[in-house]
Chain A
Amino acid sequence: QKEVEQNSGPLSVPEGAIASLNCTYSDRGSQSFFWYRQYSGKSPELIMFIYSNGDKEDGRFTAQLNKASQYVSLLIRDSQPSDSATYLCAVILSGSARQLTFGSGTQLTVLP
């Protein structure tokens, strides 16, 4: 079992719709969770982080964390073509040097 798992996609949504990206993790002791956006040929860009159970909203982005289910998700409301990118879920595993362990990423395409 991979430590961080994401559906690789690709995921396509129409412009204006809600895009839902999901991530599960195996380490129950994990406390810190991140979503990075990566455009083709570019480096990962931090867009959300969440440390507590529940929802965290920032503009059109909402991160949701459920530690009991070991599940973290990212919702993008009013999706725009400029949101088309690969979204990487990253987790800091317990007992680590606080390095990020990444999922394989979900490729999102927002269709105009």
Chain B
Amino acid sequence: GAGVSQSPSNKVTEKGKDVELRCDPISGHTALYWYRQSLGQGLEFLIYFQGNSAPDKSGLPSDRFSAERTGGSVSTLTIQRTQQEDSAVYLCASRSSAGTSGSYEQYFGPGTRLTVT
């Protein structure tokens, strides 16, 4: 079946502009995660959505970052007033129902490479 999809694959933006990144999880997966991968910081967690519960935003680096998930499926990560340090690959991952048979495997999308100039 189809995997996690993300768009755009690449985004170049000027410092100070807002950007929106989209993630479409694997069909039927209720959990959705955003991560960021940069050279200096490795792969780090940003935010987690599980069904209709309030998201876990504990990984968001600043209040310029926000995310929403509509209808329990597609998610959008928004970065306002982008800074050069926001340049990274933004990865989305999804997982099937939490804790079902101890199933915690996450599957990643291809990522969005964000470059802030």
Contact = CB atoms under 8 A, between A and B. Distances in A.
- Say if A and B assemble together: yes
Contacts of A105: 42
Contacts of B52: none
B104 A44 contact: no
A46 B98 CA distance: 18
Interface in A59-112: 88, 92, 97-105
A88 B108 CA distance: 13
- Which of B43, B45, B50, B111 has the largest count of A CB atoms less than 10 A from its CB? B43
A42 B9 CA distance: 11
Nearest to A52: B102
A2 B104 CA distance: 22
Interface in A9-45: 32, 34, 36, 42-45
B104 A92 contact: yes
B105 A98 contact: no
B98 A98 contact: yes
Interface residues of A, number: 21
Given A42-B110, A44-B91, A101 B104 contact: no
Contacts of B91: 43-44
10 contacts: A34-B105, A43-B89, A51-B104, A97-B48, A97-B56, A98-B48, A100-B35, A103-B42, A104-B42, A105-B42
Interface of A: 32, 34, 36, 42-46, 49, 51, 88, 92, 97-105
Given A99-B33, A100-B93, 11 more contacts: A42-B110, A43-B108, A44-B108, A45-B108, A46-B106, A46-B107, A46-B108, A99-B56, A102-B42, A102-B43, A105-B42
